């Protein structure tokens, strides 16, 4: 199998991944998954598409990851892995789509507006 690449985004995070045949190693920015994401919940988020299909030990994944916070980065990697699995075998798409892993979550931070302290918050109203 040749190397398959895919991209995933979430908020400000961008994940570029390269999937090759292997033994289940996930390397993020030249560090192991459990070193980059020490929290078990974030490791679980990253591995969700692989566990849904049942191929967690079949592929080695190399990830270039930048931007955003740790939660957004984990979800960006999840989207990229799901897209790569569909590139490898299109029959995986219905199962991944049913779990919601194929959808790019488009919610991003709303910009600050002029004349306000934040995007929606207003300064205290003074009657007089």
> Which long-range CB contacts under 8 A does 21-25 form with residues at least 24 apart?
21/58, 21/59, 21/60, 22/58, 22/59, 22/60, 23/57, 23/60, 24/56, 24/57, 24/58, 24/59, 24/60, 25/60, 25/61
pLDDT of 76 over the 80 cut: yes
Q: How far is CA 28 from CA 64, 72, 128, in A?
A: 6, 14, 57
Query: Residue 1 has what pLDDT?
Result: 77
Digit-coded pLDDT (tens) for 16-63: 999 999 998 999 999 999 999 999 999 999 999 999 999 989 999 999
pLDDT of 14 over the 90 cut: yes
Query: Residue 114 has what pLDDT?
Result: 96
Query: Residue 34 has what pLDDT?
Result: 93
Q: How far apart are CA 13 and CA 74, in angstroms?
A: 9
pLDDT of 6 over the 90 cut: yes
pTM of the predicted structure, to 2 decimals: 0.92
């Amino acid at each position: 199998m040749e190397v398959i690449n895919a991209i995933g985004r979430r908020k400000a995070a961008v994940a570029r991944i390269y999937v090759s045949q292997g033994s289940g190693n996930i390397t993020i920015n030249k560090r192991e998954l459990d070193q980059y994401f020490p929290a078990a919940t974030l490791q679980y988020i990253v591995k969700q598409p692989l566990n849904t299909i049942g191929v967690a030990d079949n592929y080695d994944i190399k990830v270039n990851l930048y931007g955003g916070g740790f939660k957004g980065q984990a979800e960006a990697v999840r989207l990229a892995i799901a897209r790569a699995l569909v590139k490898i075998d299109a029959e995986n798409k219905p199962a991944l789509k049913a779990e919601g892993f194929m959808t790019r979550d488009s919610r991003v931070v709303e910009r600050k507006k002029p004349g306000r302290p934040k995007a929606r918050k207003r300064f205290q109203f003074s009657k007089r």
